């Protein structure tokens, strides 16, 4: 696998880890999340990083050999957070955190595990 793609996969993994770490200090409770502007902005920033890294992977991996569920939707979320920030709902972000981020983490972990030279 291209070293740049590996780097971007690591960036995604790091951003997911950061999001998970936010909820060690704050409870994973939607109502508390919705009230905490700083937490919401931190999560949104990490989702932007995930989306940008995914965008670079898709641009570099022309054959789409990297199999990540909803890769284009991840890029779309990044665009929406950046360009249509006033249309982002807390409920949508929360749903992504609860329903989609764990699967993305698993897929990225598997890709890294399968492509690191020291495994």
pLDDT value, residue 117: 67
Is-contact 75 108, C-beta < 8 A? no
Residue with tokens 């508390």: 32
Is 78 known to be catalytic? yes
Is 100 known to be catalytic? no
Is-contact 88 81, C-beta < 8 A? yes
Is-contact 80 88, C-beta < 8 A? yes
Active-site residue (options: 45, 56, 83, 100): 83
Reduce the DSSP state of residue 58 to 3 states and report it.
Answer: helix
69 DSSP 8-state letter: T
Q: How confident is the model at residue 114 (pLDDT cuts 50, 70, 90)?
A: confident
What phi, psi does 66 have (nearest 5°)? Answer: -80, 115
**Predicted structure pTM score:** 0.90
Active-site residue (options: 34, 41, 45, 78): 78
Per-residue pLDDT tens for 34-74? 999 999 999 999 999 999 999 999 998 766 677 898 999 99
CA dist 83 → 5, 16, 92, 97, 107 (Å)? 25, 22, 16, 20, 27
């Amino acid at each position: 696998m291209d070293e740049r793609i590996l780097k971007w996969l690591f960036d995604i993994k790091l951003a997911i880890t950061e999001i998970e770490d936010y909820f060690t200090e704050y409870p994973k409770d939607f109502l508390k999340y919705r009230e905490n502007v700083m937490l919401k902005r931190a999560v949104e920033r990490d989702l932007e990083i995930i989306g940008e890294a995914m965008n670079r992977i898709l641009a570099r991996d022309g054959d789409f050999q990297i199999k990540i569920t909803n890769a284009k939707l991840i890029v779309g979320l990044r665009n929406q957070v950046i360009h249509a920030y006033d249309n982002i709902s807390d409920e949508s972000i929360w749903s992504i955190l609860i329903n989609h981020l764990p699967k993305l983490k698993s897929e990225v972990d598997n890709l890294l595990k399968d492509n690191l030279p020291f495994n």
